[in-house]
Amino acid sequence: MARTTLTRFLIEQQRLANALPAELRLLIETVARACKTISHSVSKGALGEVLGSLDSENVQGEVQKKLDVIANELLLDANEWGGHLAAMASEEMETIHRIPNRYPKGEYLLLFDPIDGSSNIDVDLSVGTIFSVLKAPDECAGREVTEEDFLQNGRAQVAAGYAIYGPQTLLVLSVGTGVHEFTLDREVGSWVMTDRDMKMPQGKCEFAINMSNRRQWSPGVARYIEERVMGAEGPCGVDYNMRWTASMVADVHRILKRGGIFMYPADHRTPGKARLRLMYEANPMSYLIEQAGGAATDGFIPIMDVDATSLHQRVGVVLGDKAEVAMVTAYGKE
């Protein structure tokens, strides 16, 4: 039986499910090709001179890794000339990147975190690329795209996904018809489906959180974690496992495949202070988790219902098993 490649899957979605227009299909294929190139750079490591930091900071005030900048440029270069996009926005750039006038413009907006978990690059742990696709407002056809055009509700996403560069290079994608996983076959250079219509297991006793941030947690989050750390002797009556890799892509992928809950709550001591970006990380991951049968909140309301106010807005994140997410939310509201 013929293997289902990414191209074949997208064409089937276009023809049979009528789930995406041809322009969106071509855009996703372009992003996937860029991820293949990034994967090659990651795999070269020191041999490709992509390790280490630069003498520069991104808009977040974070020191940029060499690979952050390389991956950002690869995604910009791959996507700006295809005619599918009106503009792009990246976690590594202060403002949007408009499509140059020498290229045709499309009707979509692309947002991406070129390298998620970049602190792991130099120690050979998994990193990834996260992306989200929005439809440009209709009025953009007669004017230049602005930052405000990107500030759409997470429910407006028409596609989202991530690539994870680990022992295998994977692409996890949703166009609104479930979540599907593709593995990069390096010998032939194609993405091959290895998991269709993924459903996150429920009822699994596993959580992912950065325990060093305990002093920043709200009483509700602290109570939830303490009950699980107590294990079989606590109110849960069962032992929990904790995992943390400091790469959202890797941690969320594990939750998606094995179940459990991922948490990066906002700082309770400083209202509004959080780590993860709504537009580049929280919204696309929430889209995937909900498509796989899970839930995602900022600790109080669904993440995809959070109003976007700026390109680099940050938000608390609690996602995964519906029952576990509901419990964290209930504790927070108490």
pLDDT in tens, 184-218: 999 989 999 999 999 999 999 999 999 999 999 99
| Residue 41 marked ligand-binding | no
| Residue 185 marked ligand-binding | no
Q: What is the mean pLDDT of residues 136-152?
A: 89
Location of each CATH 3.40.190.80 domain in the chain: 206-333
The residue type of 193 is M
Q: Name the CATH architecture for the domain at 206-333.
A: 3-Layer(aba) Sandwich (3.40)
Structure tokens that stand for 60 in this block: 């977040």
| Beta-strand pair 317-320/159-165 | unpaired
pLDDT > 70 fraction of the chain, expressed in percent and rounded: 94
Q: How far is CA 102 from CA 98, 113, 149, 165, in A?
A: 11, 26, 22, 33
Q: Which residue, among 254, 228, 222, 257, has the nearest Cα to 241 in the 3D structure?
A: 228
| Residue 132 marked ligand-binding | no
| Residue 116 marked ligand-binding | yes
| Residue 117 marked ligand-binding | yes
| Residue 321 marked ligand-binding | no
Location of each CATH 3.30.540.10 domain in the chain: 6-195
| Residue 101 marked ligand-binding | no
Facing residues of 263 across strands? 318
Alpha helices for 171-294 (secondary structure H): 219-229, 248-258, 283-291
pLDDT band per the 50, 70, 90 thresholds, residue 120? confident
Q: Look at the domain 6-195 and name its fold.
A: Fructose-1,6-Bisphosphatase; Chain A, domain 1 (3.30.540)
Per-residue pLDDT for 107 more than 90? yes
Q: Cβ(211)–Cβ(264) under 8 Å?
A: no
Specify the pLDDT at position 57.
55
pLDDT in tens, 4-56: 999 999 999 998 767 899 999 999 999 999 999 999 988 877 776 666 666 55
**What DSSP designation does 308 have?**
P
Residue-level length of the chain: 334
- To which H or E segment does residue 88 belong? strand 85-90
Whole-prediction pTM value?
0.94
